[in-house]
Amino acid sequence: MSLSSVVKRFLSHLSRAGDFLAEAIQDHESRLNNFTVASVKPVAYGTPAFMLILHKDMAAGTPGSPDDVVVIAAGTYSYKIRVFECDYVVATAIPASSVQVRDAISGGGNAMSGVISTAATGISWDTRDFDTKVINLATTSLILRRSDRGVAGELFMHVALEP
């Protein structure tokens, strides 16, 4: 078998794999677009739940002042979510800085997480022991309040969709 035959055969397999992957992605998107909270099966204690990990990547701004980063804007989704835990992977640290997930800008509204230190690079966990809170994403935004906009990193929120 010549080298060109092998390459053609490989490209043919690669093309079929690409088609399969594209079909799988379309199917996944279709399922997500047709997802309804009512379609979730009950779990322990009979409470419907669909667990998600929300992710938001945040670039550093000019350090020295606080700012707000919109994680999910009000009206983007029509679901309610229950926030269980928030973790932050700090890429750019600022001494004595922190982040906190809230449901309003400028540090207002309700705290959806504890204050998470961003004074050192690496993973910072929300260590606050608090009651989980429900947010209606149809009417309320999820905001990450940075005490210093020079902090960069990734937010991971463990949430459950609620009916």
Strand partners, 144: 69, 101
Q: Is the pTM above the cut of 0.75?
A: no
The 67-72 sheet, strands edge to edge? 67-72, 142-146, 98-102, 116-117
CA nearest to 53, candidates 163, 127, 160: 160
Extract the tokens encoding 76: 């983007």
Phi-psi label, residue 22: left if phi above 0, alpha if psi -120 to 50, beta otherwise: alpha
Q: At the topology level of CATH, where does 48-162 sit?
A: Jelly Rolls (2.60.120)
Rounded distance between C-alpha atoms, residue 46 and residue 41, angstroms? 9
Rounded distance between C-alpha atoms, residue 123 and residue 88, angstroms? 6
Extract the tokens encoding 74: 């009000």
Rounded distance between C-alpha atoms, residue 150 and residue 146, angstroms? 9
pLDDT of residue 160: 83
pLDDT of residue 119: 96
pLDDT of residue 147: 97
pLDDT of residue 43: 44
Please identify every stretch of the chain with a pLDDT value under 70, giving residue numbers as ranges. 1-49, 129-132, 163
Spans of all domains in the chain? 1-34, 48-162
pLDDT of residue 145: 96
Number of H helices, E strands in the chain: 1, 9
